[in-house]
Amino acid sequence: IPALASISRSSGVLLGVAASSGKLNDTDYKKLLVRHFSSVTPEAECKIKELTPQGPDHYVWDKCDAVYRYAVENGKYFRLHTLLWWDHLPDWLDKGSFSPRKLRAWTVGHIEKVMARYPDAYAVDVINEGVADEFPGGVTASLDGVRRGNKWFPLIPDYLELAFKTARRVNPTAKLIYNDYNIASMYGWMREKSNAVYLLLRDMKSRGVPIDGVGIQMHFCLSAFDEPGTFEGIAYNFQRLGQLGLEVHITELEFNCSPYGDPCPRWNRASLDKQAALYRQVTRLCLDYSHICTMMSTWGASDRFSWRGPEQHALLFDEEFRPKPAFFALAEEF
């Protein structure tokens, strides 16, 4: 089967994958990652919960280091995910009652430590999922959508730019990314949140906040583009984000059998073919807009290790690491 990492290298789009340190010890799986992907994103190891499970000053680096070492030793780009996320926080932070001053000091220190430890990171998801999912009052101003109730907002109202400025101060060259889900298309079911993120990024760029790109996760199910116009709205969204001077990273691409939380009702040849067509569509779009869409990563390589479980059949390789129709469809586009 074609080696995706080599056939995609000259395409202008960096092809990546999420991997966790434990699975990197599986030699067959590691071979798959080395052969087919040019970038690696640590699936969980570099998040606050994994780095500081016990307390604010006790860092456990070994698992995040393991993914970074895999990248450095195998000549892969390292996509550092993620400095600040509202979810997956350790109890000491989730249940802690920090004063704004103390939380600000810890947060700046955390970003400094993590950025300094991985200086060769190609891109960093500085903020993950900082915008709400619903907008009861509609989306008008840029900060309307900022996710309320996370640890930083509104305790530290300027936490978004604080994070980007701190990350840039430590690493002058890494691509600093704002990463989120359900923000791919200007039309259809993703419209409102896409607009909220666009407004937020336009506002921050206009104030000189050092943001280089937006990470569009693309955790989709097979019906994601069924509503007419939804897929076309992705191209328009790429264009308006590009006009802000931002690049787009497709960061967590997958096409699951069913929406998040729903069991997979059936999976057959027609499902495999639809999944292949969807991976092909997104790959073609990123390649057609490679001046804006500079990388695309799938959230895992094999269904065996998919975070949604193997029964969602979401990825390019099946549970036995065999390539699925989606793999060949994606390969043909490069």
Which residues of the chain form contacts with ligand XIL (CB under 6 A)? 43-44, 88, 128, 217, 252, 307
Nearer to ligand XIL, 299 or 327 (CB): 299
| Nearest distance in Å: CB 195, ligand XIL | 20
Query: Residues 202, 274: contact at Cβ < 8 Å?
Result: no
10 burial via Cβ count (<10 Å: 0-12, 13-18, 19+): exposed
Backbone angles phi, psi at 277, to 5 degrees: -65, -40
130 CB-side CA count, 13 A: 32
Strands 213-216, 39-42: pairing is: unpaired
CB 244 → ligand XIL: shortest distance, Å? 22
> Contact at 8 Å (CB) between 33 and 301?
yes
**Active-site annotation holder among 45, 50, 252, 333:** 252
Tell me how long the chain is. Answer: 334
Task: For the CB of residue 215, give the shortest distance to ligand XIL in the complex, in Å.
Answer: 8
Among the listed residues 129, 247, 254, 333, the single catalytic one is: 129
Cβ 180 to ligand XIL shortest distance, Å? 8
User: How far apart (Å, rounded) are the C-alpha atoms in residues 261 and 308?
Assistant: 9
Active-site residue flag, 129: yes
Alpha-helical (H) ranges within 75-189 are 91-94, 100-117, 159-170
On the CB side of 236, CA atoms within 13 Å amount to: 13
Q: At its nearest, how many Å lie between ligand XIL and the CB of residue 275? A: 19
Q: Whose Cβ is closer to ligand XIL: residue 43's or residue 212's?
A: 43
Residue nearest ligand XIL, Cβ-based: 307
45 is catalytic: no
d(CA 83, CA 322): 34
CB atoms within 10 A of CB 232: 15
* 29 vs 325 by CB, closer to ligand XIL: 29
Q: Is 119 exposed, middle or buried (0-12, 13-18, 19+ CB in 10 A)?
A: exposed
**Which of 118/329 has CB closer to ligand XIL?**
118
Q: What angle do CA 281, 283, 285 make, to 5 degrees?
A: 70
Smallest separation, CB 217 to ligand XIL (Å): 6
Residue closer to ligand XIL by CB (options 23, 30) is 23
Nearer to ligand XIL, 217 or 258 (CB): 217
User: Do residues 211 and 205 make contact, with C-beta atoms less than 8 angstroms apart?
Assistant: yes
**Catalytically annotated residues:** 129, 252
